[in-house]
């Protein structure tokens, strides 16, 4: 089984979450930018010498490393930048554009349920902003 990790620095974009109230065009720009960034990250991190082909089936596990900053009602929009605690389902929904970017870059043929299995996401809280990142662990899955 082949396993490798694709990493993007920083928290997720503000307009990528399912609870974003951004205008549709701002959301579209953010989604397209994230898709392009994750596609470029795959091309940067993919061990092409060892894996010169697209996978037939993969398992993706999302891992976030965010800084936790105290949230106050006076600062209600802080959560969209990744400082207020997030829950796993919103984190996974925010990663849809990342999955689209990985598919567009050639990781797997399609992102349907037959080809992509999602692992259990994890969120780790860091003491400061240094080291904030989002990782996607990619594992080749055997047909079963």
42 neighbors 107 (Cβ within 8 angstroms): yes
Residue partners of 75: CB distance under 8 A and separation at least 6 = none
Q: What is the mean pLDDT of the chain?
A: 82
9 neighbors 131 (Cβ within 8 angstroms): no
Model confidence at 131, pLDDT cuts 50, 70, 90, reads confident
CATH number of 3-140: 3.30.1330.70
What are the tens digits of pLDDT across the range 49-93? 677 678 889 999 999 998 776 555 555 545 444 445 567 888 899
Residue-level pLDDT at 22: 87
Residue-level pLDDT at 69: 63
Residue-level pLDDT at 81: 47
Closest of 134, 141, 143 to residue 5, by C-alpha: 134
6 neighbors 48 (Cβ within 8 angstroms): no
Residue ranges covered by each domain of the chain: 3-140
pTM of the model: 0.82
Give bridge partners of residue 58 from the DSSP assignment. Answer: 116, 140
């Amino acid at each position: 089984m082949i396993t490798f990790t694709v990493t993007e620095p920083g928290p997720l974009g503000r307009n990528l979450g399912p609870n974003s109230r951004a205008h549709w065009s701002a959301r579209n720009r953010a989604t397209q930018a994230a898709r392009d960034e994750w596609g470029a990250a795959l091309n940067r991190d993919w061990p092409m010498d060892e894996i010169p082909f697209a996978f037939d089936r993969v398992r993706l596990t999302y891992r976030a490393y965010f800084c936790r900053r105290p949230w106050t009602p006076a600062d209600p929009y802080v959560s969209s930048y990744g400082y207020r605690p997030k829950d796993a389902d919103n984190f996974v929904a925010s990663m849809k554009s990342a999955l689209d970017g990985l598919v567009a870059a050639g990781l797997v043929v399609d992102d349907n349920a037959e080809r992509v299995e999602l692992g259990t996401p994890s969120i780790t809280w860091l003491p400061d902003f240094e080291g904030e990142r989002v990782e996607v662990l990619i594992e080749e899955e055997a047909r079963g």
